[in-house]
Amino acid sequence: MSATLIDGEVIAVRMRAEIAAQVQQFTEQHHYAPGLGVVLVGDDPASQMYVRMKRKNCKEVGIESYAHYLPADATQAQVEEAVLSLNQDTKVHGILVQLPLPKHLNEEAVLNLISLEKDADGIHPLNMGLLAMRGREPLFTPATPTGCLVLLKEMNVPIAGANAVVVGRSNIVGMPVALMLTRENATVTICHSKTRDLPSYLREADIVIAAIGLPEFIKGDWLKPGAVVIDVGTNKIDDATAEKGYRYVGDVELESAQAVVKAITKVPGGVGPLTRTMLLANTMKAAYRLTAKA
Ligand code: NDP
């Protein structure tokens, strides 16, 4: 059996076309475009690339992006000031603080400042709390986990009643995706670095979400035949045969997994394009909400 390779870009392109139509309608109605405020601190090449791609996607769909680029030695007060000014700016409907922030900054304090109604990344503690509670609805759900759910639904993967194993419990991926799968009635197990015998959990999993950050860590023979794997991991590895001398791989060893599972996402080009598209969708949602209130 050779698994279907899930191409997130194809789905993302279609969704961005839908968002572009919404943006056009909004812009015609309000005579200004929805806006995303972006805060990037420092010169980490990966973060710079992510911000560049997110702003490019904004431009493609007609969302205006307003960037605050701060130096690596920016003070806590400067970063907080950038967030506060975006909170105040009526042209800005969604705010993204690109993570991770440099070590000397208090990330929690910065994220707590983002206006709940502009939390386009869906990682405000209150939004996360609402996500965890039954019968409550968060204003926004985080971009990457939402992208994972979109991929599963696009693939018509039955979620209710399925055994789902999430490997990783970070605030931005593992934990919220586990909460979202629980809301969809999957039976969810969260594994992490202290989990004993990870393969024994994975062998029972109909759905695997891998969000670890270790290149090709999960092997094919750990997985259940016929499982669906969403590989969030994006790990840069040296490869002398690649044009640039490096390439990106996921947390799952693709070759051995493909022989076992039913479907697995591409890396790159699987979850990443959906993450960026969900940020646009959340910005649009914020724009509708804020203008309806005004
Ligand atoms: P974090 O480093 O914040 O979290 C990693 C998680 O993996 C932790 O919960 C950790 O456990 C767990 N872990 C580490 N080692 C093991 C192990 N040996 N066995 C089981 N679990 C382990 O990473 P992120 O969640 O931010 O990102 C994960 C990956 O996803 C990265 O490769 C990142 O680049 C990628 N990513 C991709 C995105 C996309 O759009 N495609 C978006 C965001 C991230 P513990 O809690 O015990 O430390």
Residues 213-222: tens digit of each pLDDT = 999 999 999 9
With a 6 Å cutoff on the Cβ, whether 144 touches ligand 1 is: yes
Among candidate residues 22, 119, 121, 285, the one labeled active-site is 121
Write down all domains in the chain, each with its CATH number in brackets: 31-115 (3.40.50.10860), 143-272 (3.40.50.720)
CA of 266 to the centre of ligand 1 (A): 17
- Mutating to test ligand 1, I would choose from 193, 201, 271, 275 the residue with most ligand atoms within 8 A of its C-beta, which is 193
Query: What is the C-alpha end-to-end distance of the chain, expressed in Å?
Result: 55
The pLDDT > 90 percentage for the chain reads: 98
- Mutating to test ligand 1, I would choose from 54, 232, 280 the residue with most ligand atoms within 8 A of its C-beta, which is 232
Residues 129-153: tens digit of each pLDDT = 999 999 999 999 999 999 999 999 9
Amino acid identity at 94:
G
Please list the alpha-helical segments (H only) found in 159-270: 174-183, 198-202, 254-258
CA of 28 to the centre of ligand 1 (A): 41
Task: Identify whether 251 is a catalytic site residue.
Answer: no
Contact 120, 140 (CB under 8 A): yes
CA of 173 to the centre of ligand 1 (A): 8
Region 230-259: mean pLDDT is: 97
Contact 97, 122 (CB under 8 A): no
Asked whether the predicted pLDDT for residue 1 surpasses 80, the reply is: no
Write the residue with the smallest CA distance to atom 8 of ligand 1.
168
Asked whether the predicted pLDDT for residue 86 surpasses 70, the reply is: yes
With a 6 Å cutoff on the Cβ, whether 173 touches ligand 1 is: yes
249 phi and psi, to 5 degrees? -130, 165
Q: How far, in Å, CA of 57 to CA of 95, rounded?
A: 15
Region of 72 please: left (phi>0), alpha (psi -120 to 50) or beta.
alpha
Task: Identify whether 121 is a catalytic site residue.
Answer: yes
Contact 38, 55 (CB under 8 A): yes
Residues 268-281: tens digit of each pLDDT = 999 999 999 999 99
Does the CA dihedral 258-263-269-271 come out positive or negative? negative
Write the residue with the smallest CA distance to atom 14 of ligand 1.
193
Write the residue with the smallest CA distance to atom 40 of ligand 1.
272
User: What is the layout of strands, in order, in the sheet containing 228-231?
Assistant: 4-6, 263-265, 228-231, 207-210, 163-167, 187-191
Half-sphere exposure of 194 (CA within 13 A, CB side): 1
Task: Identify whether 91 is a catalytic site residue.
Answer: no
Q: pTM for the complete prediction?
A: 0.96
Among candidate residues 22, 98, 118, 251, the one labeled active-site is 98
